[in-house]
Amino acid sequence: MSELSTAPELIASNKCFGGWLKRYKHQSASTGTEMVFAIYLPPQAQSKPVPVLYWLSGLTCTDENFTQKAGAQRLAAELGMAIVCPDTSPRGTDHPGEHDSYDFGSAAGFYVNATQAPWAENYRMYDYVVDELPTLIEENFPVTDQRSISGHSMGGHGALICALKNPGRYQSVSAFAPISNPINCPWGEKALGGYLGDDRESWKAWDSCELIATASERLPLLVDQGEADNFLSEQLKPEALKQACEAAGHPLELRMQPGYDHSYFFIATFIGDHLEHHAKALGLK
């Protein structure tokens, strides 16, 4: 057992497509709070370790949105892929203003390491997702150290920056409707300003479009974006991601999906393509 976290304590368990969907809680060293995560273990995990896809959810979400709405377990069971879903922020800290808006504070950790008081004490979701949680998972569950990462909206932003900032750590990356250029959109400016302070130069370390320019690993990006997404033009800015990838020669498959919005109906429609994308990189296909 690592010194980073307390051992995970089971709080719920459901059999699903021959495997098990389980929820756990543990005390986190990164956030200084109790954290909850979900893990789907496919039937293959009963006889051998399996690789893991980490899924990062978006604003207002918990670990349960993906597990209950995406419909990913059937194909994950066929492929032999575990899926881990962390929460989107620390809970129970009750900092001033923490619960006042949906796009900052609780359920809106933005997958960064905060540097500003009072957020710096607990809002270290980047460290939690990249280091602490995988260590906990790999020490306590029948999984390998082969990892992939994906996410939606704020979580799509999280997946992209985690992969871009950590060459060699993930076998593959994908995103649904990611906040592609947070230093230049209202959601990102609010979150990065609040967690990191007024120095906009420091924000660039958490922006996919900025990171792509100097990335030392050219991991192909698979991105799905609904054309009927209400947040498309103001918040998500896939055109900025496309431009950054073209300028740097970074491989990007950006699929603009006519008629689809920002919801889990959109995610459920295309999640199979993303699982197949990760399965190939993880050696499952």
Output helix, strand, coil percentages for the chain, rounded to the nearest 5.
Answer: 40, 25, 35
Catalytic residue list contains 262: yes
Catalytic residue list contains 153: yes
Catalytic residue list contains 100: no
- Annotated catalytic residue, options 5, 229, 250, 277: 229
Torsion angle (degrees, nearest 10) of CA 163, 51, 122, 231: 50
The burial of 216, by beta-carbon neighbours within 10 Å (0-12 exposed, 13-18 middle, 19 or more buried), is given as: exposed
Sort residue 60 into left (φ over 0), alpha (ψ -120 to 50) or beta. Answer: left
- Annotated catalytic residue, options 26, 152, 250, 262: 262
Residue 85 vs residues 38, 53, 202, 220: alpha-carbon distances, Å: 5, 9, 28, 22
Chain-centre distance for alpha carbon 270: 17
Q: Helix, strand, or coil here: 52?
A: strand
Sort residue 144 into left (φ over 0), alpha (ψ -120 to 50) or beta. Answer: beta
Tokens of 193: 């300003």
- Annotated catalytic residue, options 153, 172, 174, 180: 153
Distance CA 159, CA 3 (A): 25
Compute how many other C-beta atoms are within 10 angstroms of the C-beta atom of residue 195: 24
Residues taking part in catalysis = 153, 229, 262
